[in-house]
Amino acid sequence: MAVRTVSFNKELQLAKMQSITTLVSILAFVPGLLVNACDCHHNNDAGRWKGSQTPADAVWELCQAGGTCKENGHGARLCVVGDVSQCLCAYDAAKSWQSKHGDWFLWSGMNCGDLTVTMNAG
């Protein structure tokens, strides 16, 4: 039962995120309602993240905690600091920019508005 509850909670959380993403996307096209709904940028330095959790999922987890840092147990540290109202933008950007080549790749520095995401190797 506990496994199903965790799975259901994750599915519910994902459904909420998808609904919010759709709403943000729609509002971004309505002039005057949202200006620069997501304005994310990255450096050109490759960051590596090992483990089963994707960098984007780690960003989302840290955002849910209000911004903090996390180590992956393989020497990398990912931090989310700043305006957590930009977390959905950061999550979407990380999801778009991440890729897997044996381990996970994501830029070592990302900014979405006043939210900063950094990843450092140990």
Pair (18, 64) in one structural domain: no
CA angle 74, 2, 55 (to 5 degrees): 30
pTM value?
0.69
- Structural domain span for residue 65: 38-121
Pair (44, 66) in one structural domain: yes
- Where is 18: in which H helix or E strand? helix 2-28
Pair (74, 22) in one structural domain: no
Q: What is the mean pLDDT of residues 14-28?
A: 58
Pair (76, 57) in one structural domain: yes
pLDDT confidence bin for 93, thresholds 50/70/90:
very high
Q: Indicate the range of 22-26, 45-49, 74-78, 118-122 predicted with least confidence.
A: 22-26
Pair (25, 53) in one structural domain: no
- Where is 62: in which H helix or E strand? helix 55-64
